[in-house]
Amino acid sequence: MSGTRTIELKRVVVTGIGIISAIGFGKKAFLESLLAGRSGVKTIARFDVTEYPVKIAAEVTGFDPADFIDKKAARRMDRYAQYGAAAAAQALEDSGYPVQEDPYAVGALIGSGVGGLDTHYEQIGILYEKGPTRLSPFFIPMMIPNMASAMSSVLLGLKGPVSATCTACAASTHALGDAFEIIRRGDATAMFAGGAEAAVNQIGMGAFAAMRALSTRNDEPERASRPFDIERDGFVMGEGGGVLVLEELGHALNRGAHIYAEIVGYGMTGDAFHLTEPDETGEPAARAISRALADAEVDPSEVDYINAHGTSTPLGDAMETRAIKLALGDRATKVMVSSSKSIFGHCLGAAGALEAAATILSMEVGKVPPTINLEKPDPECDLDYVPNVARDAQVKIAVSNSFGFGGHNSAIVIRKFED
């Protein structure tokens, strides 16, 4: 038929990883803490928490944006965008990708759940204290949630597809999946994809605490995030940035790039259910997983490991367990499942990218990261959650799940690379 576009789907691999997190900067420190089950959750040091009902978070400390990106540019970026751009700069260095070879062939897709919350909080204070004429001219460009992606493109010279996702806690898994599709259909050779978030501040902690979404285990910070445990009482706020370089396989092979893994499938659905609560049946989330597996042409019996969304909330963990059972059937009880959020907190829009990085790095070294603090398993959560200690295991097929407020469900399938 005239005008029909025939698309030969490309294979997409991961050739670079950049990480800013509460448990380390860069892949080496991050992986060491992850496999050791070393929690990044502590009493918040960034501001006075005396009057706050929640006093703990997985806070990024010791971060200087000038260590990663241009100092002048960093002053005009919110902290979340600094995390994203720093992770992108790390990923570029790790991948050695030749951006200047063809800058229009490489783009950026870095998501965020809430965007520039520091800037928003500070500028609203200025508005009330000093009036509208004292607002910063950089308020809007520092606040909007596309700026981690946009500034990464500016700083790295990426002139291909540049976009951003803003789907709450599913944002960076959607970013990875959308970037995968862009390369697969031939609209880019490589994409810097992931997420960034910086909500550990006065308004972020106060607002999430008001929702009763957060753990109040203030006296035991490192034991507060406990996915799938019967005594879980809410998630622990995390923050940071995670960016992967996704690259067309042929291009990666031609330049001799190190290939970490291959992205082979992507699925997403919507709950159409509630403002913040998940559909308790798990069916919409299960369909996202099933669509990702079908897209990858992977049978459920082939799945070895799932990096769970695993937030440590009563409703969420039970729902995800049901979803995994629905999607995998008999295989569900044989698959290893773990929650990285038990270690570095719930990084909202950055969560999926950090968890994909955790999955890929652990696959490469033949270990599965643990779910820490799983001491009293919830009878409703009865899968193999790799409790407390990392496990030696060769994982060939893994799934990484993310679910966001509003009913955003997403999953990607990752395969151990074999040419």
**How high is the pLDDT of residue 1?**
45
Nearest-10 crossing angle of helices 117-130, 202-210:
100
Contact by Cβ (8 Å): 23, 246: no
Q: Are 145 and 112 in contact (CB under 8 A)?
A: yes
The string of DSSP letters for 247-270 reads: EEHHHHHHTT----EEEEEEEEEE
Strand 106-111 versus strand 190-197 pairing type: parallel
- Say how far apart CA 267 and CA 412 lie, in whole Å: 6
Distance CA 276, CA 303 (A): 29
**CA-based nearest residue to 24, from 40, 4, 8:** 40
Contact indicator for 388, 37 with CB cutoff of 8 Å? yes
Cα(369)–Cα(359) distance, rounded to whole angstroms? 8
Q: Is 166 a catalytic residue?
A: no
Query: Can 120 be counted among the known catalytic residues?
Result: no
The phi and psi torsions of 295 (rounded to 5 degrees) equal -60, -35
Q: Answer for the pair 293, 210: CB distance below 8 angstroms, yes or no.
A: no
50: left (phi over 0), alpha (psi -120 to 50) or beta: alpha
| 169 assigned to active site | yes
Q: How many CB atoms lie within 10 A of CB 72?
A: 8
Q: Are 293 and 329 in contact (CB under 8 A)?
A: no
Could you say which of 346, 347, 381, 408 is catalytic?
Answer: 346
Q: What pLDDT is recorded for position 8?
A: 85
Q: Which of 174, 251, 309, 408 is catalytic?
A: 309
At the second CATH level, the architecture of 13-254 is 3-Layer(aba) Sandwich (3.40)
Structure tokens that stand for 349 in this block: 């829009």
Alpha carbon separation from 350 to 98, 197, 341, 342, 381 (Å, rounded): 26, 6, 11, 15, 25
Contact between 110 and 193 under an 8 Å Cβ cutoff? The reply is yes
Catalytic residue among 120, 166, 169, 408: 169
Cβ burial 401-417 (10 Å sphere, 16+ → b, else e): bbbbbbbbbbbbbbbbb
Contacts 24+ apart (CB under 8 A), 330-334: 331/300, 331/301, 331/303, 332/383, 333/383, 333/384, 334/384
**Domain spans of the chain, in order of start:** 13-254, 266-415
CB 403 within 8 A of CB 320: yes
Cα–Cα distances in angstroms (integers) from residue 399 to residues 30, 153, 296, in the given order: 20, 28, 11
**How much is the pLDDT for 3?**
57
Per CATH, the number for 266-415 is 3.40.47.10
**Topology match between the domains 13-254 and 266-415:** yes
- Residue closest to 56 by CA, chosen among 69, 42, 67: 42
Query: Would you give per-residue pLDDT tens digits along the chain (419 residues)?
Result: 445 666 789 999 999 999 999 999 999 999 999 999 999 999 999 999 999 999 999 999 999 999 999 999 999 999 999 999 999 999 999 999 999 999 999 999 999 999 999 999 999 999 999 999 999 999 999 999 999 999 999 999 999 999 999 999 999 999 999 999 999 999 999 999 999 999 999 999 999 999 999 999 999 999 999 999 999 999 999 999 999 999 999 999 999 999 999 999 999 999 999 998 989 999 999 999 999 999 999 999 999 999 999 999 999 999 999 999 999 999 999 999 999 999 999 999 999 999 999 999 999 999 999 999 999 999 999 999 999 999 999 999 999 999 999 999 999 999 999 87
Phi, psi at 312, each rounded to 5°: 85, 25
Contact 37, 343 (CB under 8 A): yes
Element (H, E) at 410: strand 408-415
Position 121, amino acid? Y
Q: Which ranges in 62-190 belong to alpha helices (H)? A: 71-75, 79-95, 117-130, 139-143, 147-156, 171-184
Q: Give the pairing type, strands 162-163 and 106-111.
A: parallel
